[in-house]
Amino acid sequence: MNSPLSAGRRPAFDLIRGHVLVSTFAALDMTGSLTRLAEQGLTVEEAGANRFLGEGVFRYLSQRGVLRTDGDRYHLTELGRSLYEDRGYLVWLAGGYSEPLRRFGDLLTGTATYRQDVLRDGKWVAVGSALLGKQDVQPEVVKLLGGLEFDRVADIGCGNAHFLITLHDQLGAKGLGIDISPEAVAEARREVEAAGKSGVIDVIEADGSDIASIPGLEDVQLAITFFFLHEVYEKGFDALVDYLRALADRLPAGAHVLAAEVTAAPSSTATDDVFGPEFALVHAVMGQYLLDEEGWARAFTEAGLTVKGLVRPAMPDGLLILAQKAA
């Protein structure tokens, strides 16, 4: 029996199925319905006010093997639960980058420019990144941090601040979150307040690429940048090294820097990498490039930091870099 995601001999229909499944599945998560589907199932009436469309999407997802029925209640199938576990990637793509990809032709021909005419949605990039990070990055991060001593953390490009909340829950560390996106900052502040952490985690709207504008770095023992440094690298390798050097200069002696990135595919030819080429393309839309593992290690070293560990997490093509400033 063919997989629900395989249309046989006509690959174009695989792409259609994938596109519609990504869009609808991510939308259910973005409206809050997907978690309820996973936990107790949903009826059509509980999915939203538009019953006709609700019936249509539940019927569609059932036809594609994602949902099953139990009376009038729908539940996730085994395939549906697999997609649910990886929903962060789907929200990151469909919620964060649907508009830049829709306007790809305009950006390619120069009739539109990124930032001036087209923008990604910072809120859903943040939410999706937090979800995928919790599953595929956070376990290895916790292992890396287990042997370190720190009581205050700065998260540059903090998104919705979920990792700062986790660090306080697990290790008692106070946190400072920095993000340039107003939507991400608003989401982070809501999450911090909902978690009862307003007194121990601060979130500010600031340009994380401008080290001089970030307050309080002299008081943190750990600086985190998750999927942020490639945005600095947009200005060139020397700019990345200068940024890391400036960050190190602001940190106290012996402080650590932990970065998570997605590495570049090894060449422009066909590759089996399951995520890196797509990640690279959506960032090319924004004029950003990716480094390989060797390049990331060289950047930290040239900035005067000692690389203590390079770890491949469960995230496809992901890389964790742990470095330290001299004591």
Choices 3.40.50.150, 3.90.1640.10, 2.60.40.10, 3.30.70.20: CATH for 122-324: 3.40.50.150
Output DSSP code: residue 12: H
In angstroms, rounded to a whole number, what is the distance separating the alpha carbons of residues 144 and 210? 27
Q: What pTM was computed for the model?
A: 0.85
In angstroms, rounded to a whole number, what is the distance separating the alpha carbons of residues 324 and 222? 9
Q: Distance of alpha carbon 4 from its chain centroid, rounded?
A: 27
pLDDT of residue 83: 97
What sign has the CA pseudo-torsion 13, 14, 17, 22? negative
Is residue 212 exposed (0-12), middle (13-18) or buried (19+ Cβ within 10 Å)?
Answer: exposed
The pLDDT tens digits for 219-250 are 999 999 999 899 899 899 999 999 999 999 99
Q: Which of 88, 83, 86, 80 minimizes the C-alpha distance to 41? A: 80
In angstroms, rounded to a whole number, what is the distance separating the alpha carbons of residues 200 and 303? 31
pLDDT of residue 9: 75
Between 261 and 8, name the one with better pLDDT: 261
pLDDT of residue 5: 54
The pLDDT tens digits for 297-326 are 999 999 999 999 999 999 999 999 999 999
In angstroms, rounded to a whole number, what is the distance separating the alpha carbons of residues 127 and 121? 10
Q: In what order do the strands lie in the sheet with 256-262?
A: 201-205, 174-179, 152-156, 222-226, 256-262, 318-324, 306-311
Domain ranges of the chain: 11-85, 122-324
CB 67 within 8 A of CB 80: yes
Rounded mean pLDDT, 110-126: 92
Give the number of residues written for the chain.
327
- Distance in angstroms between the alpha carbons of the first and the last residue of the chain: 61
pLDDT of residue 271: 74
For the chain, the average pLDDT equals 92
Q: Which residues contact 257 (CB under 8 A, 6 or more apart)?
A: 222, 223, 224, 225, 244, 247, 248, 251, 300, 305, 321, 322, 323, 324, 325
Q: Which of 197, 200, 313 minimizes the C-alpha distance to 258? A: 313
Question: Helices then strands (H, E): number in the chain?
Answer: 16, 9
Percent of the chain with pLDDT over 70: 96
CB 149 within 8 A of CB 226: no
pLDDT of residue 247: 97
Q: What are the CA-CA distances from residue 36 to residues 28, 31, 69, 248 (Å)?
A: 10, 10, 15, 44
In angstroms, rounded to a whole number, what is the distance separating the alpha carbons of residues 284 and 251? 31
What is the CATH number assigned to the segment(s) 11-85?
A: 1.10.10.10
The pLDDT tens digits for 3-56 are 555 555 789 999 999 999 999 999 999 999 999 999 999 999 999 999 999 999
Tokens of 198: 């307003």
Tokens of 113: 């420019």
Q: 324 forms bridges with which residues in the sheet?
A: 256, 306
